[in-house]
Amino acid sequence: MPARAWYSHELCFWHDPGSGAGYVPVGPGVEPLRQFAVDPDLRRAEGLVRAVGVMDHFTQVTPRPAKDDDLLLVHTSEHIERVEVASALGDGDAGVYARVNYHSAMAARLAVGACVEATSEVIAGTFDRAYCVVRPPGHHAEADRAMALCLYNNVAIAARAARRQGVGRVLVLDWDVHHGNGIQQAFYSDPDVLYVSVHQDGLFPPASGLVGEIGSGAGRGTTLNIPLPAGSGHEAYCAALRRLVEPAVRAFAPELVLVAAGVDASGHDPMGRMLCTSQTFHLMATALCELADELAGGRIVFVHEGGYSAWYQPTLVLAIACAVAGLPAPADPFLHSLAHLPGQQLQLHQRRVVEHLLTHHPLLTGT
């Protein structure tokens, strides 16, 4: 039995945020259009991983839906009720830009269930690594508010569940192109969970994920935001990883690594303005696995978040899967369209963000 686990569930792909232009629902001035956050696109990613034989390196696990006890680790009972009621009605918004259909409440419970179970089994040693390819995503969901396609905060709940299971220090690394405001909110004053977000500066939510947001109270220094300017590519992400993420994580010394592994920082994603390729995601995922091996007994769980390029998302998920399985980066039929853009090199204004954090963030300055 392969020691790497793949968690997914068919019902996660039945969640559908409805018709709209991009992320904007149909309404005044907005014509109906196929929503680009369509979850069957993620099923295609799983299909590619299987078709090229990489799924053979994983033990596939069908998760159980999370119980209220798990959801309540992060969310209020009123929030859970809102998601359940909106979903039971078959249509509507469970929060802010968080539309649901009849299957959404169960899909969201299965997404959380996958993350909690994967984390628990990795802690128990059943698996040494896991990849949860689930929807809906989670990192924007706050304690009492669904937001931007996110109903329950999958990764934050998994981190709390790990702490409940006795894990001392947890790293949550979030490389989704948007800022994970919900994860940050959950752990902003918690010194035992380091939240690191690499995201596009000023994208979403507005004024969230600034360099000065470093945690508060006992948690001062255990939030690290790396807001890279729009247009950042492979070398900017490498600089953030090597110069900021790796030293910060070594200073924190986590016992478990959770990765909010959205793929919407790719150069083909309609939601972001970054230039990452499959090689970027493979490199980052490999580096995080190596950090987990070095510091956390190899215990690492990847969780899918955003990803809106119907054609490129499968290759990006495959790249992460290859890294988790210890395989080289996969063939990428789209790489030629991104790899040689001049913007893939580190630009001066991007390097300034890295250098500012190197000289100001408590985890990196030791203050």
State the residues that interact with Zn ion by CB under 5 A: 176, 178, 262, 264, 306
| Least distance between Zn ion and beta carbon 288 (Å) | 18
CB 200 within 8 A of CB 227: yes
Count Cβ atoms below 10 Å from residue 235 Cβ, excluding itself: 17
**Minimum distance from residue 181 beta carbon to Zn ion (Å):** 11
N-term to C-term CA, the chain = 46
| 237-258 exposure pattern, b = at least 16 Cβ within 10 A, e = fewer | bbbbbebbbbebbeebebbbbb
Residue 41 CA to residue 353 CA, distance in Å, equals 34
Contact 50, 62 (CB under 8 A): no
CB of 187 to Zn ion, least distance (A): 19
Q: Tell me the β-bridge partners of 276.
A: 266
> Cα(26)–Cα(270) distance, rounded to whole angstroms?
18
Report CA 53 to chain centroid distance, whole Å: 24
Supply angle C-alpha 274, 342, 179, rounded to 5: 15
Nearest distance, CB of residue 338 and Zn ion, angstroms: 18
Say whether 140 is catalytic: yes
Nearer residue to Zn ion within complex by CB, 255 or 305: 305
**In the complex, minimum distance from the CB of residue 97 to Zn ion, in angstroms, rounded to a whole number:** 12
Per-residue b/e over 63-100, b at no fewer than 16 CB within 10 Å? Answer: bebbeeebbbbbbeeebbebbbebbeeeebebbebbbb
CB-closest chain residue to Zn ion: 306
The active-site residue, picked from 9, 140, 179, 234, is: 140
Report the residue number, 9 or 178, with the smaller CB distance to Zn ion. Answer: 178
- Active-site residue list: 140
